[in-house]
Amino acid sequence: MLLVAAAAAADPLDGRTVTGVSVSGLRTIRESIVLAQMELRAGAVYSRRTADRDLVRLERLRVFSDVSIAATAVDEGVRVDVTVVETLRVLPAVSIAVSDESGVSVGPAIKVLSVKGRPQEFSAALRFGGEGLLEVSETSPFRRDTPLWHSAKLTVRNRDNGLDHFEEHSLDLDTRVGIRVSDNWKAGAIFQQFNLASLDTPGITLSPDDSDHFTGFGGITEHDTRDSWTTPTRGWLNSVDAIWHVGSGDYATFDVDVRRYQPLARKQTLVATMLLTLQTGERGVDVPTYTDYALGGANTVRGWDFASRRGKHQFIASLEHRYTLVPTQSFRIKGLNLYGGLALAAFGDLGSAWNDAGEAVDQAIGGYGFGLRLFIPFVDVIRIDFSFGNGAHANVGINEKAIAQRNRVR
């Protein structure tokens, strides 16, 4: 998404009093919602830095394909003009997933981005191909005027589990609710329900009836200072979560996820990410083997075949240098307000998956390569990579790799 601030880095209007704020371009979103996200308001002291923060807050509503803020001198004060371009409130779409384990799955989807003039995302998708899937979800947007945040996702999946060689039917419910402590910090509670059945092969599940049931309770905290939620070039996104699973087994999962976006020069960004996942319990007794992590392929350590390393713990680190070919910007197609961009990438990955203490170093693998990053609406990014490790590989991935590697189905 294109964010444009009209002021220069050293803005001569800094320090003046804001005399008023106007908003143009709205169709369905309430003006009061936009104004509530902004620090700049009548009587406030204007600064370019505050305007930049307001741009990020408006982008986080995820209902605009373009946002700009212009400041104009008026006598001894400043008038602030906000211009937005709304996306459609209801978006029919195509849902595409690419998994190293299940291949390509495609199907219809629909997204609702606002309800009665208030940003609120609901989505539903059906996919067929490598897996059969029904998924419905809701996500509250970031809103400065309300501290409560929440999300819920229900996924029903049927697929041929290529890692453990059985026909899998599963139901996965993940709900989260919490409080935003500030613009950058949030914390909350997690509730999960996960059921899995092996339809054709005995002995896969922990339970003797070939069907496992787990309930999970936990918490999460997240620190986010990115300058954009769609195409960040500066800032951190760090999260820590812990979940205790009870039912057919008894184990805990602990995740540390660190992401840094660092501008290097004009059109160049360095993206550094790290994911560490640890699970307690004895593999195959307390924690099922089908929750193992498998490294290799488009979404973990590129340059290696899928499942080149496997274990109940994982560590993945990546470093990627991006060069922007086409800056992410808004455009219209048949009346639709969309956005897009294109970047080149060079990357290196390092990872390990292991079961017992002392195996992590011996199980380490690494790869490197180059590729393209296509930024498109409501998918975020399509990755096309050519990588080298234990051979030459070509991969296609959907979403940022740091997002994709968090999924249970890789």
Given a cut of 90, whether residue 391 has pLDDT beyond it is: yes
Range with the poorest average pLDDT among 123-127, 133-137, 154-158, 228-232: 228-232
Asked if 139 contacts 111 with a C-beta cutoff of 8 angstroms, the reply is no
Q: Which whole-number Å values give the CA distances from 32 to 148, 216, 362, 377, in the listed order?
A: 18, 38, 57, 25
| Dihedral Cα 70, 73, 74, 75, nearest 10 deg | 170
Determine the length of the chain.
Answer: 410
Given a cut of 60, whether residue 203 has pLDDT beyond it is: yes
Residue 285, helix vs strand vs coil:
coil
- Confidence grade of residue 332 (pLDDT, cut at 50, 70, 90): low
* Mean pLDDT along residues 162-174: 95
Q: Which domains are seen in the chain, by residue range? A: 2-86 (3.10.20.310), 90-404 (2.40.160.50)
pTM for the full predicted model: 0.90
Of 149, 156, 209, nearest to 180 by C-alpha is 149
Instruction: Find the angle CA(378)-CA(255)-CA(388) to the nearest 5 degrees.
Output: 70
Using the Cα atoms of residue 211, residue 255, residue 356 and residue 274 in order, give the sign of their dihedral: positive
Q: Taking the CA of residue 102 as centre, how many other CA atoms within 13 Å lie in the half-sphere pointing to its CB? A: 26
Q: Give the pLDDT confidence score for residue 385 in this predicted structure.
A: 98
Q: Give the pLDDT confidence score for residue 357 in this predicted structure.
A: 85
- Confidence grade of residue 333 (pLDDT, cut at 50, 70, 90): low
Q: Give the pLDDT confidence score for residue 162 in this predicted structure.
A: 87
Per DSSP, 45 falls in state B
Given a cut of 50, whether residue 45 has pLDDT beyond it is: yes
Given a cut of 80, whether residue 339 has pLDDT beyond it is: no
Residue 59, helix vs strand vs coil:
helix
Asked if 112 contacts 123 with a C-beta cutoff of 8 angstroms, the reply is yes
CA atoms of 237 and 275, how far apart (whole Å): 12
Range with the poorest average pLDDT among 77-86, 185-194, 218-227, 338-347: 338-347
As given in the structure block, the two tokens for residue 176 are: 């989260």
Q: Which whole-number Å values give the CA distances from 185 to 34, 220, 286, in the listed order?
A: 21, 11, 34
CA atoms of 313 and 91, how far apart (whole Å): 38
Q: Give the pLDDT confidence score for residue 3 in this predicted structure.
A: 43
CA atoms of 218 and 255, how far apart (whole Å): 11
- Confidence grade of residue 335 (pLDDT, cut at 50, 70, 90): low
* Mean pLDDT along residues 245-262: 98
Asked if 351 contacts 103 with a C-beta cutoff of 8 angstroms, the reply is no
Comparing 94 with 219, which gets the higher pLDDT? 219
